[in-house]
Amino acid sequence: MTSRGCSAMVDCEFCSIVNKELEGEELYRDDKVVGVLHLKPAAPGHILVFTAHHYPILEQVPDFEVGHVFSVANKLSTVVFETLGVDGTNIIIENGVAAGQSIPHVVAHIIPRHENDGLKLQWQPKKVGNDEMDIAQHQIKEQTENIHPSAFEKEKTQIVLEEESEGKKGEDKKSQKKKDDYRLSQLRRIP
Amino acid sequence: MAHAQSEEEQQKALMEKLKHMSPDELREFQKKQCIFCQIAEGKMQAKKVYEDEKAIGILDINPANIGHILLLPKEHHAIMPQLPEDILGHLGILAKKLSHALLKALKAGGTTIFIANGASAGQRAQHFMIHIIPRQEKDGVGLFIPQRQIREEDLAKLKDVLAEKISGGKQKGAEKKPQAEKKTEHKAEKKEKGKPARKEKKQKAANVAKETENKNKKDDVSLDDIAGLFGNG
């Protein structure tokens, strides 16, 4: 179960596009995200923005990379506005199977919208009692108490160079690596 | 009748006033009309679940599911492209953190992060916000993104139009230039390094993934369980 995160990389469609093993209709690429046109779009111009690194769900993506996904999604959404003459866009992340996510690699959908386009990207409000709301508020608040903006993971500017030979040596180093700062490890991957 | 006319006149006067307002005055005016600004300032009650200097998270009173959070910048911005970069990044990170909070607090099976730009996309308020909706399988929320067929030539045409704009073209876009530069830089780098770099990259990425796993193990809600639900993963 736990090894899925990395073993999935091998047959992950998005990783294959990142690695250029699979050709996508690529629109944007930097060291953290890739943007492609969806081959089976909800509407013409439907763009997928996914992380360059393989993370199954949003909670696993380091903070600064999440911020970047939103920033690029916004820029591409603006481009859609400017070039395709649409009335609106939706930006949606389906996070987890229960939310409809089908590929275990974090991706944001940018969907161009027109009046009466027939897309049902809307929900019916549920009737919830005040007591229920209060309980939910209390439960959620308990979990948000330890969110501190000052502790958000930032991208380190200096590059950490590390000698790393291929194959077995890399394996040996794994245990040592675990002790390393998780954030530093993010820099070791080559864009 | 006379009353209706005066109302019309009032409307006209207002429109005229709006026309001559400076951007700052206009923002101030919009702010006064905006209930979410009043919530952010504490002038109107809401079920707050998170607050910091720049942002506030409240429960939606018309939720798709119980625990549906609206995450808003405190500053008034009507649409997403108007948001300063740092605020958007901050909200993005908070969306992740609040999503995590929902998984833990409500034992949600997943979350939908939803942004609507424009009325036709479902934007109801003139104040930018991110919806974070806790999800369970078969919860009836809908929000199903359909997959439709598109002709290859249409796809190619779209790609050309969008790619030209993204790469900057000749037009304005001080904002977009760095992006374009990055892109070409990156390409050049790729060419230089070629295959060995790719191999190294894979290995390093694998290590990072391992570490992600280790980090997640410390969590009290098992993200691995949620991440491991994918049928063919």
Task: Write the ipTM.
Answer: 0.79
B64 close to A (CB below 8 A): yes
Both tokens of B93, joined, read 């990170």
Interface-testing mutation among A59, A72, A83, A146, with chain B (most B C-beta atoms within 10 A): A59
B208 close to A (CB below 8 A): yes
Q: Which residues from A are below 8 Å from B62, CB to CB?
A: 125
Amino acid at B106: L
Q: Which residues contact A12 (CB under 8 A, 6 or more apart)?
A: A54, A103, A104, A105
Q: Any idea what the Cα angle at residue A65 is, between residues A166 and A83, rounded to 5°?
A: 115
Burial label, B20 (beta-carbon count in 10 A; 0-12, 13-18, 19+): exposed
DSSP bridge pairs for A29? A34
Q: Which residues from A are below 8 Å from B124, CB to CB?
A: none
- Is residue A23 over pLDDT 90? no
Q: Report the candidate in B68, B72, B50 with the shortest Cα–Cα distance to residue B60.
A: B68
pLDDT of residue B220: 61
pLDDT in tens, A42-80: 999 999 999 999 999 999 999 999 999 999 999 999 999
Q: What is the mean pLDDT of chain A?
A: 83
Instruction: Please state the three-class secondary structure of chain A as a single string.
Output: CCCHHHHHHHHCHHHHHHCCCCCCEEEEECCCEEEEECCCCCCCCCEEEEECCCCCCHHHCCHHHHHHHHHHHHHHHHHHHHHHCCCEEEEEEEECHHHCCCCCCCEEEEEEECCCCCCCCCCCCCCCCHHHHHHHHHHHHHHHCCCCHHHCCCCCCCCCCCCCCCCHHHHHHHHHHHHCCHHHHHHHCCC
Mean pLDDT (whole number) for A155-172: 53
Q: Which residues from B are below 8 Å from A81, CB to CB?
A: 81, 117
Distance in angstroms (rounded) separating the CA atoms of residues A161 and A170: 14
How many Å lie between the alpha carbon of A124 and the closest alpha carbon of chain B? 6
pLDDT in tens, A98-136: 999 999 999 999 999 999 999 999 999 999 999 999 999
pLDDT along chain B (233 residues), means of 10: 67 81 79 90 94 97 96 93 94 97 95 95 94 95 94 94 80 42 45 48 55 50 75 49
Interchain proximity A144–B50, CB inside 8 Å: yes
B118 close to A (CB below 8 A): yes
pLDDT of residue B202: 54
pLDDT of residue A141: 97
Interchain proximity A88–B113, CB inside 8 Å: no
Distance in angstroms (rounded) separating the CA atoms of residues B224 and B213: 8
Both tokens of B144, joined, read 């199903």
CA distances from A12 to A69, A104, B35, B224 (A): 19, 8, 44, 17
Both tokens of A112, joined, read 């161009």
B169 close to A (CB below 8 A): no
pLDDT of residue B163: 92
Mean pLDDT (whole number) for A17-29: 91
Question: Which secondary-structure segment (H or E) carries B70?
Answer: strand B69-73
pLDDT of residue A158: 54
